[in-house]
Amino acid sequence: MEKIPILRMGHFLLVTIQVDLYDQLAENLEADLVSMVSKTNAKGVLIDVSSVSIIDSFMGRILGNIATMSKIMDADTVVVGMQPAVAITLVELGLPLKGVYTALNVERGMELLRSKILLEEEDQEEENDDDTDSTE
């Protein structure tokens, strides 16, 4: 079975979707990404959809699931490079990409993820200052 490669770049995972995905392939990608996030402790997931010409509710749900599950493991998800026609169509269809950030391209997506990590670190420092009880 063919697989979509997941690249590791520092704290982030990068996936480039280059073909119109069969459902099974999309579901495998979801499972693979989620397990990779947990294994690598990644802080962010970038999904490049610039070659994707159709996102229907099925694919939209897969993207949403990836974001939700990654968030549970403390990683943010950014979908990058969505074609304007695809973005317009998604809005008209009424599909909310819940918890999914979007960015123009991979570089911008990286910037977005980096800024999120910085914010979180600041928050954590504040929390530590306040001496909030730690879990464990």
Site residues for other proteins per CB under 8 A: 20-24, 53-58, 61, 83-86, 88-89, 92-95
Q: Dump strand ranges (E) for the chain.
A: 6-9, 12-16, 44-48, 76-80, 101-103
Q: How many helices (H) and strands (E) does the chain have?
A: 4, 5
Which CB atom, from 52 or from 112, has the smaller least distance to other proteins?
A: 52
- For the bound state, the minimum distance from the C-beta of residue 49 to other proteins, rounded and expressed in Å, comes to 13
Which CB atom, from 56 or from 121, has the smaller least distance to other proteins?
A: 56
Which CB atom, from 56 or from 111, has the smaller least distance to other proteins?
A: 56
- For the bound state, the minimum distance from the C-beta of residue 33 to other proteins, rounded and expressed in Å, comes to 21
Which CB atom, from 7 or from 58, has the smaller least distance to other proteins?
A: 58
Q: Tell me if 100 sits within 8 A of 79, measured CB to CB.
A: yes
- For the bound state, the minimum distance from the C-beta of residue 62 to other proteins, rounded and expressed in Å, comes to 13
46 forms beta bridges with: 14, 78
Round to the nearest angstrom and report the end-to-end CA distance of the chain: 40
125 C-beta neighbours (distance < 10 Å), count: 10
- For the bound state, the minimum distance from the C-beta of residue 82 to other proteins, rounded and expressed in Å, comes to 11
